[in-house]
Amino acid sequence: TGTPAGGHVELGAGAWHTRRGAVDYASGLLSNRVAFYARVYDQSTDSYREHSGDMSHSGFFSGGYFGDRNIVKVTAIAGQEHSQLAYDASADSTLLRDRRDNPLSPDERDDFGEQLGSVAYTRLLDPRSSISTTVYGVSATGYYDVISGPTDRYHLDFWWNGLMSTYSYRGNHGRLDIGIHAANYHRDHYDYTFPDLTNRVYSNRGIKREASSYVKGSYDVGPVSLFGDVQARYAWWRYVPDANAGIAAQSISWRFLNPKGGLTWSVTREFSAYASYGVNGREPARNDILAGFDNLDTSNVAFVGRFDRVRPETPHDLEAGVRYGGTRLSVDADVYDMEFRDEIAPIGQLSYLGLPLRKNVPASTRRGVEATLTWRPTPALTATANGALSHNWIAAYTDDASGVTYHDVPPLLTPKGSSNQRISYAAGRGFRLSLEGRFN
Give residue-wise pLDDT tens across range 4-13.
788 889 888 8
**Helix, strand, coil tally for the chain in percent (to 5):** 5, 70, 30
Residue-wise DSSP of 212-248: EEEEEEEEEETTEEEEEEEEEEEEEEEEE--TTS-S-
Q: Tell me, what amino acid is at 123?
A: R
pLDDT at position 83 is: 92
162 pLDDT exceeds 90? yes
Question: Is 82 buried (19+), middle (13-18) or exposed (0-12) by CB count in 10 A?
Answer: middle
Q: Using a cut of 0.95, tell me whether the model's pTM lies above it.
A: no
- 126 close to 96: Cβ distance less than 8 angstroms: no
Q: What residues have CB less than 8 Å from 275, skipping those under 6 apart? A: 262, 263, 318, 319, 320, 321
Going by C-alpha positions, the residue among 305, 309, 315, 313 that lies closest to residue 344 is: 313
Mean pLDDT of 317-329: 95
What are residue 286's DSSP bridge partners? Answer: none
d(CA 94, CA 195): 32
Grade residue 149 by pLDDT with cuts at 50, 70 and 90: confident
pLDDT digits (tens, 9 = 90+) for 31-48: 899 999 999 999 999 999
Is residue 305 packed enough to be buried (19+ CB in 10 Å), middle (13-18) or exposed (0-12)? exposed
| C-alpha–C-alpha distance, residues 340 and 362, integer Å | 8
